Amino acid sequence: MAQRFGGKYSPGGEDAPPPKSGYEGARADPAGARSNVMFVPAIPLVFISLGDGAIGLTLGLAAAGVLTLSAWLLREGLRAEAAWAGRKVARRPAFPRKMAASLLAGIGVGMAAFKYGLGEATGASDPALYLAPALFGLVTTGLHAVAFGIDPMRDKGIGGVDRFQQDRVARVVDEAEAALSDMSAAIARAGDRRLETRVEQFQATARKMFRRVEEDPRDLTQARKYMTVYLSGARDATVKFAELYARTRDAQARADYAALLDDLEENFAARTQKMLLDDRSDLTVEIEVLRERLHREGVRLD
């Protein structure tokens, strides 16, 4: 039977919902080029120190190691700060990585300056031998802190919600985020970019539920099974699929896994929407109760 063509620009046609972009919900790595470039200074320092004798080589390698550790702590600190900033309920980082990175950067530069000062000092009692490295180190620490900032120093929470509930939510969200990270690492081993994008789309939907629970910890009861049992199952299924698909490139296994992601995303989205509707119903009840009380007390709402 012939089928009438219809579409957005056809008479009587309806606008179709736009397809989801592959970049929807994607998150840029907060440790960008400006933090990765901090690994560079240690490289020439190592090569320059190779011909400086035992003392110079030791100091140069030690300074390069300290600078590399500083760059690594900075990168991890930026990621921890981004995770803290992206949540409504979050604990401050347990270890101040960015502040430690600033301190280590100053120490590393000071050690490098001391290494080169050894060849120019007139003796061990020369004050310039110690003063210049100290000044270089202090300036480096200050500039590093100004350029990259310091770590978050406080916990984030929602007003009107007790600390115990916020801690419960934070723990569950941390576990759920860990499961999503494991999914990303596993699907990357499968070597299928389209599936990686599909997993990112599901993760964006799951994170909408996380943010909803953070805004109202009372929703944790409804969402706990999704954020623990279902996400753990999704992670395990992703790991097994990635191992199988990397070896066999089984098209049926790929189709089954894609269908699983579709089902998971649909159910997570439906549960999140239901929580929003429940909150709206609670608001309506609160408004009606308040109106009734005001009416009994003779207050007119004109």
Residues 1-37: tens digit of each pLDDT: 454 545 555 554 445 445 555 455 556 667 778 888 9
- φ/ψ of residue 209, rounded to 5: -65, -40
Q: For residue 296, what pLDDT is reported? A: 64
What pTM, to 2 d.p., does this model score?
0.61
Q: For residue 80, what pLDDT is reported? A: 86
Bigger pLDDT: 130 or 300? 130
Output the average pLDDT for the chain: 80
158 has pLDDT over 60? no
Bigger pLDDT: 104 or 83? 104
Signed CA dihedral, 110, 115, 120, 124: sign only: positive
Name, in order, each residue with C-beta under 8 angstroms of 188's C-beta and a sequence gap of 6 or more.
196, 242
d(CA 184, CA 178): 10
- φ/ψ of residue 19, rounded to 5: -65, 155
> 246 near 186, Cβ under 8 Å?
no
> 46 near 64, Cβ under 8 Å?
yes
If pLDDT is split at 50, 70 and 90, which confidence band does 291 have?
low
If pLDDT is split at 50, 70 and 90, which confidence band does 261 have?
very high
Per-residue DSSP letter, 156: B
Name, in order, each residue with C-beta under 8 angstroms of 238's C-beta and a sequence gap of 6 or more.
182, 183, 186, 187, 199, 257
Q: For residue 1, what pLDDT is reported? A: 44
21: tokens are 């972009």
Encode pLDDT of 47-74 as tens digits.
Answer: 988 888 888 889 999 999 999 999 999 9
If pLDDT is split at 50, 70 and 90, which confidence band does 297 have?
low
Q: For residue 10, what pLDDT is reported? A: 52
